[in-house]
């Protein structure tokens, strides 16, 4: 599946609901963004079960501002309407593939429980582990 251009009009409808959505916040003038773009596009073709969207931060500043995007490229991974990962930096193909695999493997019932549990340290540990599980390996 090719990438989808995300705008203020279609962003919420694209990232809400069930399924895996990857969002690349980028700009044409950004060198690392231009480097990451083909990697992101290739991954979109290899994972037709996920939605891959791109937000041009120059054309859609309100969307970038809503997520406090201050560095680009920034990759956001959303599954079942829950943001699992949001970090700036261009990733190599292997790290992106690792993130996608981990996001697909997560037990979303556990993630939801960890988010809604009131001050339960075990649940906080689960949420922390979910974030750690989706973090790319350090090279």
Helix (H), strand (E) counts: the chain: 6, 5
The residue count of the chain comes to: 139
Query: In what side-by-side order are the strands of the sheet with 4-5?
Result: 4-5, 51-56, 20-26, 74-79, 82-88
What tokens were used for 24?
């690349």
Distance from CA of residue 78 to its chain's centroid?
5
Look up 33 and say whether it is catalytic.
yes
Please tell me the distance from the alpha carbon of residue 58 to that of residue 29, in angstroms, as a whole number.
Answer: 9
Contacts of 66 by beta carbon, 8 Å cutoff, 6+ apart: none
Specify the residue for token string 């350090």.
Answer: 138
Catalytic-labelled residue, pool 30, 55, 75, 130:
30
Residues with active-site annotation: 30, 33
């Amino acid at each position: 599946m090719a990438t989808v251009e995300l705008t203020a009009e279609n962003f919420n409808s694209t990232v809400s609901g069930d399924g895996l959505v990857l969002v690349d916040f980028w700009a044409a003038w950004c060198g690392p963004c231009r480097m990451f773009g083909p990697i992101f596009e290739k991954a979109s073709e290899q994972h037709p079960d996920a939605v891959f969207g791109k937000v041009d931060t120059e054309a859609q500043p309100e969307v970038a501002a809503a997520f406090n995007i201050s560095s680009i490229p920034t990759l956001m991974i959303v599954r079942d309407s829950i943001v699992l990962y949001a970090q700036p930096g261009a990733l190599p193909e292997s790290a992106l593939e690792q993130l996608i695999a981990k996001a697909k493997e997560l037990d979303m019932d556990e993630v939801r429980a960890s988010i809604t549990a009131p001050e339960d340290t075990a649940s906080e540990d689960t949420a922390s582990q979910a974030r750690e599980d989706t973090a790319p390996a350090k090279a």
